[in-house]
A and B are shown apart, each in its own frame.
Chain A
Amino acid sequence: NAGVTQTPKFQVLKTGQSMTLQCAQDMNHNSMYWYRQDPGMGLRLIYYSASEGTTDKGEVPNGYNVSRLNKREFSLRLESAAPSQTSVYFCASSEPDLNYFMNTEAFFGQGTRLTVV
């Protein structure tokens, strides 16, 4: 069972270049998320998608765009990379219970280590 798969695992970009981080989950989850992790900052939510066809901004959305391609896939795009976007990016998915407002476990991918020079 693959769970949440992210590609690529590592990437080095030059300032101003663009790239797309790919994420796919095989657990049939409705909700998917993109977080970034920086030293001393924990995980911060960039964008999320509560269901196929919907996306919303999180805490730190500036400089990013997302696409929920289908129920399985949620991509994160950097249009013009900046050194401040050097970070480890994590994709996650979960299946919140909409009727009872209960939260459930979020499953994370292995991360993409991005360096912008």
Chain B
Amino acid sequence: QKEVEQDPGPLSVPEGAIVSLNCTYSNSAFQYFMWYRQYSRKGPELLMYTYSSGNKEDGRFTAQVDKSSKYISLFIRDSQPSDSATYLCAMSAGEPGNTGKLIFGQGTTLQVKP
């Protein structure tokens, strides 16, 4: 079983919908939780970053972390066609001598239809 599990989708929604993307993980040492967005044939780019538990909001995007359940979510409000991309969750433990290496989920492909 992978350390990080993410439903690969694909997920198709109409423009304006609220989108919920989720990941579960098994390693309780993970402390840093990230969401990357990857457009077709491009490299991933950081979208949201959260340390430990709690919520973080940035415009239409909200990231939630529930360490007790080992579950993280990304919500997209008022989704736009430009949000169509693959969304990857990523985590790291921040171990001593932190190397910054990340463990990724499988990625969820999202299509927002006009």
Contacts and interface: CB of A to CB of B under 8 A. Distances in A.
B100 to A, nearest CB: 4
20 contacts: A31-B99, A31-B100, A40-B8, A42-B6, A42-B104, A42-B106, A43-B88, A43-B104, A56-B99, A58-B101, A92-B43, A101-B96, A102-B98, A103-B32, A103-B34, A103-B49, A105-B46, A109-B43, A110-B42, A111-B41
Contacts of B51: 102
Interface stretch (A44-52, A63-71, A77-85): A44-52
A110 B100 contact: no
Interface of B: 4, 6, 8, 31-32, 34, 41-46, 49, 51, 88, 90, 92, 94-107
Contacts, number: 79
A90 B97 CA distance: 23
A103 B45 CA distance: 15
A103 B101 CA distance: 9
Interface in A17-53: 31, 33, 35, 40-45, 48, 50
B22 to A, nearest CB: 14
A94 B102 CA distance: 11
Contacts of A92: 43
Given A31-B100, A43-B104, A56-B99, A102 B43 contact: no
A61 interface: no
Contacts of B101: 31, 33, 45, 48, 58
The listed residue with most A CB atoms (<10 A of its CB), out of B34, B41, B43, B92, is: B43
A115 B50 CA distance: 36
B100 A108 contact: no
A50 B99 contact: yes
A95 to B, nearest CB: 8
B43 A42 contact: no
A60 interface: no
A103 B92 contact: yes
A41 B106 contact: yes
